[in-house]
Amino acid sequence: MPWLLLLFFWIPSAIAEDVFDATELYVDLVDPFYSSYEKSRTQIGVAMIANVTLEVASSNARTEVMIHRPILRDAFQRLLSQQPRSVFVSSAGWQELAAQATEAFNQALEVEGCTNCVRAVLFPAGIIPEG
Please write the tens of the pLDDT for every residue from 97-123: 999 999 999 999 999 999 999 999 999
Contact 130, 47 (CB under 8 A): yes
Q: How far apart are CA 75 and CA 128, in angstroms?
A: 20
Closest CA to 35 of 82, 69, 2: 82
Residue 12: the pLDDT is 52
Domains (ranges, CATH) in the chain? 26-129 (3.30.479)
pLDDT digits (tens, 9 = 90+) for 44-66: 666 778 899 999 999 999 999 99
pTM score, two decimals? 0.75
The reported pLDDT for the residue numbered 64 is: 94
How far, in Å, are 39, 74, 124 from residue 129 at the CA level?
Answer: 13, 21, 15
Q: Give yes or no for residue 5 having a pLDDT over 50.
A: no
Please state the separation of Cα 64 from the chain's center in Å: 15
